[in-house]
Structure 1
């Protein structure tokens, strides 16, 4: 015959273990960042810890009108005698997207991670290396958002 001595304690321990495991799973899921958030954090990290270099815009690739998709700026640069080509999705940076359409061939500043030079950016939420020409032909950095755009002088 099976003894039921200690059964309530075993059930209580099993219930607590199950509740603990469920709590861990829920907390981890809640902390998981979206791909867009991970990319934003990567850009900000390269901006804060990266080194400046000079590069050249190769192309700007947009999805067809009415279609969703990334807006990519392709560019090339050299670090320590090694050439790199990269692309950055600038969809989350509307102020940069406006000037990107006319940027092909321009010389730009970029930032790269000195530990991993392939990790680079042309712009982020706090900085842009893409120049724009004003009406007088002067080079300025691209506005980061529509709110950052300088006012027109009359």
Structure 2
């Protein structure tokens, strides 16, 4: 019967490799930088843009608070909107302060329809604008109306 010996080179190599793997994983977990709130919010928006379902909603209001009112450096800009899924009306707001280069909230049209992206498993998790996507509309029509140019009328020849 052969027993395990700590002098066996194969056993020592296996233990050393396992120890290095566990040590590497522990070092990665201890030294990695945890994402901040802004990064988590950006990731949430990107997940909704990539996999969220789109539904019609309405922009209810905008809110532009200065530093004193909001208690945050740089102030706070919010878009308030609502949408309905399966008979449940959701009223939400999205902090768009970090999206200032993509959007001017003072150009938003209150009461206009908008497209809302939401998570099908958690319908309250929604956005109305992100870095590469916007559900805000410039007109009250969801589909722009394109008028076809009229053809000039051809005068009919007189009957003889």
TM over 0.5: yes
Contact 2:76 2:97 in 1 (8 A): yes
**Does structure 1 retain, via aligned residues, the 8 Å contact 2:67–2:75?**
no
Question: How far apart, in 2, do the equivalents of 1:70 and 1:28 lie?
Answer: 34
Alignment of 1:70 with 2:76, yes or no, is yes
**Which of 41, 44, 52 is the aligned partner of 1:42?**
44
Which structure dedicates a bigger proportion of its chain to strand?
1
Q: Name the Cα RMSD after superposition.
A: 2.9
- Give the distance between the partners of 1:138 and 1:82, measured in 2 at CA: 24
Structure 2 counterpart SS, 1:92: helix
Counterparts in 2 of 1:56 and 1:95: CA distance versus 1, 3 Å: farther
SS of 1:45's partner is helix
Q: What displacement does 1:63 show?
A: 1.5
Alignment length, in residue pairs?
117
> Larger C-alpha radius of gyration, 1 or 2?
2
Any idea what the Cα deviations from partners look like across 1:105-142, whole Å, max 9, x if unmatched?
11101100011000000011111000136xxx9989xx
State the TM-score, normalizing by the size of structure 2: 0.62
**Distance (Å, rounded) in 2 between the aligned partners of 1:112 and 1:49:** 9
Tell me which residue corresponds to 2:154. Answer: none
Corresponding residue of 1:118: 124
Output the CA distance in 2 between the equivalents of 1:125 and 1:112: 16
Is 1:61 matched up with 2:60?
A: no
Q: Which residue of 2 aligns with 1:109?
A: 115
Among 72, 93, 96, which residue is 1:90 paired with?
Answer: 96
Unaligned runs of 5+ in 1: 1-19, 141-154
Gaps of 5+ in 2: 1-22, 144-160
Q: 2:33 maps to which residue? A: 31
Q: Distance in 2 between matches of 1:45 and 1:53?
A: 16
> By how many angstroms is 1:91 displaced?
1.2
